[in-house]
Amino acid sequence: MSSDVYIIGIGATKFSPSTPEFSFKELMYEAAVKAYNDAGIDPRKDLDVMVTAAEDYWEGISIFDEYVPDQLGAVLKPVFTVSGDGLWGVAHAHMLINTGQFDVVAVEAHSKASDIVDIQSIWRMALDPYIHRPLVDNVHVFAGLEMNIFMESLDVDRDAVSLVVSKNMGNALGNPLAPYGADVDPDMVNESEVVSYPLRSMDISKYSDGAVVAVLASRKVVEDLGVDAPRILGIGWVSGSSYIEEWDFAAPEFVWRAGQLAYSMANINDPYDSIDVAFIDDRYSFRELQSIYTLGLDNGYSLNELVYNGVTYPDGDLPVNPFGGYLGCGYPLVAGGLQKLYNAVMYMRSGGGDVETALVMTRMEYPSPSAAVAILGW
């Protein structure tokens, strides 16, 4: 399978712990206007299909997908919602354009996490009602389990994980859209409250509100507009068994498989060699290292060496989450993948042509055994 789909525009709101002055529709509107301006298109004339990514429970509205066309310039156009993260929406937009039937498809995702008064109860509702919900009320317990198995299996130091938090929150200091930039000593992370051993409070990304819209287009549109837009070289998404009991917590196969789908579409054989920068899942600090390992981006380093040698720092060989990741930008629920895509596009544009290839990856959260990976290039 080949890919001839481009990201001609992208827009995002600021990410904030709360946005009491704007409704979800107004956040979406801001991101959409920015994206269409960035792309140089008129959505009322040029937009063929609108894809949104949302989960009803996050919105507090069932059948949420009916509440989206007006603020996105998509009234009386084909609209559908992917029940998942925005990166899954990108995969669907990519397929639509590759059919040859559509030239301009936009993808939207947002978070209004601050409106959810009892967010942990919604996470609880995602747990298996037969065998997990009767036992566990705190979904972070599963992250603690995953973290412990991952760290023991791959011999990862507590300090290496804490340095991920310190790096990403530090990286966010330079990102005007990120609310959680801070100069954090790894010892602060080591001493933060234990939530579910070995997971500590500072290992968990805090939530943020925000919206992102990406405009994808065919080569024909890119040629008509005469612009230089990053191309989606490869994209893949995978779900594993829904039984958590079957997961390989150390290096989840569904993450590996999603990576393989994207790599094969992009003709990438040696990921570390081919990828210049990675924007990957850090909902929980350890996930960044786990995803590096599982996606074959470790270049044979041990994960401890990788961190201690500075490989993943902004001036390292493979910068990872250089604009702050979820730890620094906040975790905007299903807008996470698009937040990372936005950061990737900004990074590539600012790279002066040096950044050839960027990897974007996120996971759906517990209990979802799902991951998506996209590779961008010029």
Three-state secondary-structure class, residue 225: helix
CA-to-CA distance for 94 and 102, rounded, in angstroms? Answer: 10
DSSP secondary structure string for all residues of 124-188: HHTS-TTTTTTT-S-THHHHHHHHHHHHHHTT--HHHHHHHHHHHHHHGGG-TT-S------HHH
Question: Is 145 among the residues that bind other proteins (CB under 8 A)?
Answer: yes
Strands 79-82 and 49-53, by their bridges, are parallel
Instruction: Select from 176, 183, 193, 300 the one that contacts other proteins (CB under 8 A).
Output: 193
Q: How far is the CB of 175 from other proteins (least distance, A)?
A: 27
In the chain, the N- to C-terminal Cα span, in Å, equals 18
DSSP letters, 28-78, are HHHHHHHHHHHHT--HHHH--EEEEE--HHHHT-TTGGGG-SGGGT-TTS-
* Binding segment toward other proteins, per CB under 8 A, in 102-110, 195-203, 253-261, 309-317: 195-203
CA separation (Å) from 373 to 15, 53, 99, 108, 363?
22, 16, 20, 17, 9
**One of 120, 267, 269, 309 touching other proteins (CB under 8 A):** 120
By C-alpha distance, which of 234, 367, 216 is closest to 295? 234
Take residue 14 and report the two structure tokens written for it: 């600021």
Main-chain phi, psi angles of 67, to 5 degrees: -100, 20
Residue linked to tokens 């390989």: 248
Q: Which residue has the tokens 């993450």?
A: 255
Shortest gap between Cβ of 214 and other proteins (angstroms)?
A: 30
Total of residues contacting other proteins (CB under 8 A): 39
Residue of 84, 144, 234, 236 that binds other proteins (CB under 8 A): 144
The stretch near other proteins (CB under 8 A) out of 135-143, 306-314, 322-330, 331-339 is: 135-143
Q: Tell me if 205 sits within 8 A of 155, measured CB to CB.
A: no
Contact segment (CB under 8 A) with other proteins among 167-175, 243-251, 274-282, 358-366 equals 243-251
Asked if 121 interacts with other proteins (CB under 8 A), we say: yes
Q: Can you read off the two tokens belonging to residue 172?
A: 């966010």
18 near other proteins (CB under 8 A): no
Q: Which two tokens stand for residue 322?
A: 């250089």
60 lies in the site for other proteins, by CB under 8 A: yes
Residue 354 as a binder of other proteins (CB under 8 A): the answer is no
Quote the DSSP letter at residue 248.
-
| Minimum gap (Å) between residue 137 Cβ and other proteins | 4
Q: Which of 33, 154, 188, 195 binds other proteins (CB under 8 A)?
A: 195
CB of 300 to other proteins, least distance (A): 25
Single out the segment in contact with other proteins by CB under 8 A; choices: 73-81, 193-201, 258-266, 346-354: 193-201
**Does the footprint of other proteins cover residue 63 (CB under 8 A)?**
no
Does the protein bind other proteins through residue 245 (CB under 8 A)? Answer: yes
- Longest CA–CA span in the chain (Å) reads 58
Find the part of the chain contacting other proteins (CB under 8 A) among 100-108, 184-192, 213-221, 238-246: 238-246
Of residues 63, 99, 134, 352, which one binds other proteins by CB under 8 A? Answer: 134
Residue 244 is a binding residue for other proteins (CB under 8 A): yes
Q: Return the residue of 55, 78, 159, 198 that touches other proteins, per CB under 8 A.
A: 198
135 binds other proteins (CB under 8 A): yes
Interacting residue with other proteins among 45, 76, 99, 130 (CB under 8 A): 130
Nearer to other proteins, 258 or 361 (CB): 258
**Torsion over CA: 238, 241, 243, 248 (sign):** negative
Tokens 């401890």 sit on residue: 304
Q: Which stretch binds other proteins (CB under 8 A): 65-73, 128-136, 156-164, 331-339?
A: 128-136
- How far apart CA 237 and CA 319 sit, in angstroms, is 23
Interface pick for other proteins out of 66, 70, 137, 185 (rule CB under 8 A):
137
Q: Using CB under 8 A, which residues numbered 149 to 168 contact other proteins?
A: 149, 152
Interface positions with other proteins (CB under 8 A)? 20-21, 57, 60, 115, 120-121, 123-124, 129-132, 134-139, 141, 144-145, 147-149, 152, 193-199, 241, 243-246, 249
